[in-house]
């Protein structure tokens, strides 16, 4: 179920990228017209401030990297306005790549491949086993946590055009409701998942979830988020200020 090396090589360029909705709040105070950033601007912001972006930013950037390396790639949507990427490797097989949900690695979605399975597998999503189910043009992903709790997510595998992707990105960049940061933690024996959501933070591991100490004030949260995510603390603080209005 693992991707071919040509896909993995591109994917691993994003190992240290968090998924975060802080940049769009910060950038909303700068951009006067277009809120969806170009890849060149995203690269500049990452170099200067350590930012990455939300699922649309990451999908647009990842597609660009695949295409620059001669691999066909396109976006796919969920019914809940989440976006991931499908890439086709040198042998013509398709893989789902979801940086927005901080997957550990891409996963094979081609039923014709001899390695394809719809059993639960490990090593693709931090702190959970996953199982795929294909139904016509829909892909259903089932997540099973260490507690045994299961949840599902559905992807429509119909390719999204570049223009549709940018338009949807523009829409979501203008939706500033609550701050969220997710970051993969590469440990010796596993990949964990750190999350900041609604002024709570926790780490998910193969053994379960660990709740971190509660903080008081956005200054303290900005410091913690910056230390884990690598995003400039002043940018984090400015974003939290925008969300707190």
Q: Give the H or E element holding residue 76.
A: strand 72-77
Domain 5-243 fold: Arylamine N-acetyltransferase fold (3.30.2140)
Domain locations along the chain: 5-243
Give 131's contacts (C-beta < 8 A, 6+ positions apart).
Answer: 118, 119, 120, 121, 141, 142, 144
In tens, the pLDDT along 233-244 reads 999 999 999 999
Binned at pLDDT 50, 70 and 90, residue 81 comes out as confident
pLDDT at 136: 82
According to DSSP, residue 81 is labeled: S
Look up the pTM and report it: 0.96
The 10s digit of each residue's pLDDT in 33-51 is 899 999 999 999 999 999 9
Q: What is the mean pLDDT of the chain?
A: 95
Q: How far is CA 70 from CA 64, 65, 161, 162, 242, in A?
A: 10, 9, 18, 17, 40
């Amino acid at each position: 179920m693992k991707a071919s090396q040509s896909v993995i090589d591109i994917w691993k360029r994003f190992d240290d990228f968090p998924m975060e909705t802080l940049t769009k709040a910060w950038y909303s105070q700068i951009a006067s017209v277009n809120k969806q950033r170009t890849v060149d601007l995203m690269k500049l912001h990452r170099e200067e401030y350590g930012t990455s972006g939300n699922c649309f930013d990451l999908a647009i950037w990842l597609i660009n990297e695949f295409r620059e390396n001669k691999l066909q790639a396109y976006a796919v949507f969920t019914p809940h306005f989440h976006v991931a990427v499908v890439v086709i490797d040198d042998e013509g097989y398709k893989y789902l790549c979801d940086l927005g949900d901080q997957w550990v690695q891409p996963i094979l979605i081609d039923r014709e491949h001899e390695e394809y399975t719809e059993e639960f597998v490990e090593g693709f999503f931090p702190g959970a086993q996953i199982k795929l189910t294909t139904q016509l043009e829909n892909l259903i992903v089932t997540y099973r946590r260490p507690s045994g709790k299961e949840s599902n997510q559905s992807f429509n595998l119909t390719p999204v055009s570049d223009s549709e992707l940018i338009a949807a990105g523009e829409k979501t960049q203008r939706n500033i409701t609550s701050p969220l940061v997710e970051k993969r933690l590469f440990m010796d024996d596993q990949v964990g998942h750190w999350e900041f959501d609604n002024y709570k933070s926790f780490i998910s591991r193969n053994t379960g979830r660990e709740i971190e100490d509660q903080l008081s004030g956005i200054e303290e949260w900005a410091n913690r988020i910056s230390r884990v995510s690598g995003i400039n603390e002043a940018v984090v603080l400015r974003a939290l200020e925008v969300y707190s209005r």
